[in-house]
Chains A and B, each alone.
Chain A
Amino acid sequence: MPSSIRDKVHRHLDICRQIQPALHQETHAPSPDMIDNAHFRAYTRSPHDIGGEPDIPITWEEKEEEVWEHNTFVTCEVLAWRGVWNAEERRRRQNVEVGETMYLGLPYYGRWLLTAAKILVDKQFITLTELQEKMDEVRKRYE
């Protein structure tokens, strides 16, 4: 990467870091003159675009899979197999539209699962009420 582009990328990453939960600065719908182009790009970056962001070393772990995680993966693939959604749509919903808080706060397959539920509602295969009633019914099985 040429150094001029590298500098731009680093500057972008710096700004992105500064605007995250920005309790230390005013973030109450500022007037347009307060947002320069660099900040515009930082605010409109999608939450999954994290390559190159600074972070500290962590312990690398393997992980056992939960039953619901396996089933979520399979459900999402089978929904695609049967034409309910395609890969582009899944990625946009799972990675971008969940927002930063959920993106970083939920388990990997947690996002997949919420997105699978949302697609069924958004495309009107089920209503939100049906989903809530089904969830209540499932909870009762475990009581």
Chain B
Amino acid sequence: MSDDKHDLHSPAPMVDEVSEFEVLELAVRELAIEKGLFTKEDHNRWTEYMHTLGPAPAARLVAKAWLDPEFKKLAVNDGVKASLDVGIDWINSMPTNFGTPSDYCNLRVLEDTPKLKHVVVCTLCSCYPRPILGQSPEWYRTPNYRRRIVRWPRQVLAEFGLQLPEDIEVRVEDSNQKSRFIVLPVRPEGTEGWSEDQLAEIVTRDCLIGVAVPKPSVTANRKRPVRRAVNPYHH
């Protein structure tokens, strides 16, 4: 159980006994391999595939759309087809060659305008466009974000550092098992004449979820406390 008084910046506590989560995880994995449900190589291949994922292709898609009106049209009309241009094949992706079992093949690209801001949630679980955006951040998975963003979006966005004027409409898109979303934000002023590489750099993961907007000088997500793992996985 998490301790609210736990100092978020302190190192993870030293634990001298193996956790039941670790025991169960090893037991399930080893039994599944022993029973021939999958092989050790299957597991390794999936881990290698995970290492290739991250927000870079989605950022590239946005940068391309900013530079090329035809590509923008394609992205908004057919996100899956547009993904091919940034190297992501939703339908035939590795390692299964039939896409990932839990992400399906229906990416929608939500176009912001100066008067309309999109933000993405999955109220029922934590559906997220993994193939093009990588693993979801912890806060996106919290019941708190999922409870509040659909009912008090302006307040929640303000907590993320995004204060929206009243005349900008906020549209919260609720993901589901079959449909995944990324936000195509408005290209910020001060980026005239920039290259695709330069533009892609300012499209952060948070911009693609919709809790931030791109700024010419910002190339990273807003700094937040990091909860340390007892036995961290190094990506």
A116: contacting residue among B19, B28, B125, B144, CB under 8 A: B28
A79 and B37 within 8 A (CB): yes
B101 and A108 within 8 A (CB): no
CB nearest to B124 among chain A residues? A48
- Complex-state Cα separation, A77 to B27, whole angstroms: 17
In the complex, which residues of chain B have a beta carbon less than 8 angstroms from the beta carbon of A77?
Answer: 46, 100-102
**Is A130 interfacial (CB 8 A cutoff)?**
yes
In the complex, which residues of chain B have a beta carbon less than 8 angstroms from the beta carbon of A62?
Answer: 137-139, 221, 224-227
**Is B189 interfacial (CB 8 A cutoff)?**
no
A71: contacting residue among B12, B29, B177, CB under 8 A: B29
State how many residues of chain A have any CB contact under 8 Å with chain B.
63
A47 to chain B, nearest CB (A): 10
CB nearest to A53 among chain B residues? B147
Q: For residues 217 through 235 of chain B, which have their beta carbon under 8 Å from a beta carbon of chain A?
A: 221, 224-233, 235
Q: Is the interface of A mostly helix, strand, loop or mixed?
A: helix
**Is A35 interfacial (CB 8 A cutoff)?**
no
With known contacts A55-B148, A64-B229, A81–B95 Cβ distance under 8 A: yes
- Complex-state Cα separation, A107 to B229, whole angstroms: 12
**Is A28 interfacial (CB 8 A cutoff)?**
no
- Complex-state Cα separation, A80 to B229, whole angstroms: 27
**Is B18 interfacial (CB 8 A cutoff)?**
yes
- Complex-state Cα separation, A72 to B23, whole angstroms: 12
Which A residues form the contact surface with B (CB < 8 A)?
A: 48-55, 57-82, 84, 86-88, 90-91, 94-95, 104-105, 107-110, 113-114, 116-117, 120, 125-126, 130-131, 134-135, 137-139, 142
- 6 A-B pairs with CB atoms under 8 Å apart are A59-B8, A68-B22, A75-B29, A80-B102, A125-B31, A131-B27
**Is B30 interfacial (CB 8 A cutoff)?**
yes
B143: contacting residue among A73, A74, A104, CB under 8 A: A104
- Complex-state Cα separation, A70 to B137, whole angstroms: 13
B230 and A66 within 8 A (CB): yes
Q: How many inter-chain residue pairs (CB < 8 Å) link A and B?
A: 197
B177 and A50 within 8 A (CB): no
B193 to chain A, nearest CB (A): 33
Interface residues on B, range: 35 or more
Which B residues form the contact surface with A (CB < 8 A)?
A: 1, 8, 12, 17-19, 21-32, 35, 37-38, 42-43, 46-47, 50, 95-96, 100-102, 104, 121, 123-126, 135, 137-139, 141-148, 150-151, 155, 159-160, 174, 177, 221, 224-233, 235
A92 to chain B, nearest CB (A): 11
B138 and A61 within 8 A (CB): yes
CB nearest to B140 among chain A residues? A60
A84 to chain B, nearest CB (A): 6
In the complex, which residues of chain A have a beta carbon less than 8 angstroms from the beta carbon of B32?
Answer: 75, 79, 84, 120, 125
Cβ-closest 3 pairs across A and B: A51-B123, A80-B101, A63-B138
For B22, B135, B160, which residue has the most chain A Cβ atoms within 10 angstroms? B22
CB nearest to B227 among chain A residues? A63
In the complex, which residues of chain A have a beta carbon less than 8 angstroms from the beta carbon of B26?
Answer: 68, 138
In the complex, which residues of chain B have a beta carbon less than 8 angstroms from the beta carbon of A116?
Answer: 28
